């Protein structure tokens, strides 16, 4: 049953099964350090939107259909740890300019729609492991994963008895390059 609070939404790059498997192979080394993110939930957030009502969601979808942004290749080449959210993540050393351009476009849309967003600079990352209480030693761990981003999507974060699930609601293509 839907409440008046709306849905908890975010815009992100989703991954195909091949990329999910590649990331998962690296991710498994952290299984004893915390709680691994489900393989099907792996994504790279572009803009967290929070709780949106139906009207704002529909406006957002209309605006996203108008985006004309280039697809890109991204290489993730290092792991990192953030103490406050207690996560281990995978990230690109140098984010592709097309990614940063897409994020800027999405931020312009959310601002125009009056959707509050984080004001911290965007830091592309893929969360691999949560609830990591001790700062891990990651410097010597090698990683090299490349994928092609050919779309972005609107996801809903939904909690149930089995945990959190991210459900893709709609996707929009990025232009071939």
Catalytic residues: 43, 125
- In residues, how long is the chain? 177
- 3-state secondary structure labels for all residues of the chain: CCCCCCEEEEEEEECCHHHHHHHHHHHHHHCCCCEECCHHHCEEEEEEEEEECHHHHHHHHHHHHCCCCECEEEEECEEEEECCCCEEEEECCCCCHHHHHHHHHHHHHHHHCCCCCCCCCCCCCEEEEECCCCCCCCCCCCCCEEEEECEEEEEEEEEECCEEEEEEEEEEECECC
């Amino acid at each position: 049953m839907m409440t008046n609070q709306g849905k908890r939404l975010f815009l992100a790059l989703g991954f195909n099964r091949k990329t999910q498997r590649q990331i998962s192979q690296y991710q498994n080394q952290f299984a004893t350090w915390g709680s691994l993110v489900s393989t099907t939930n792996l994504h790279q957030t572009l803009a967290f939107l929070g709780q949106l009502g139906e009207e704002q969601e529909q406006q957002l979808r209309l605006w996203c259909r108008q985006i004309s942004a280039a697809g890109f290749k991204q290489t993730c080449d290092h792991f990192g740890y953030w103490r406050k959210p207690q996560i281990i993540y995978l990230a690109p050393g140098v984010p592709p300019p097309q990614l940063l351009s897409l994020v800027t476009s999405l931020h312009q849309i959310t601002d125009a729609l009056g959707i509050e967003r984080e004001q911290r600079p965007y830091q592309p990352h893929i969360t691999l492991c949560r609830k990591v209480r001790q700062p891990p030693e990651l410097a010597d761990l090698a990683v090299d994963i490349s994928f092609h981003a050919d779309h972005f999507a609107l996801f809903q974060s939904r909690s149930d008895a089995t945990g959190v699930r991210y459900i893709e609601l709609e996707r929009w293509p990025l232009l071939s390059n």
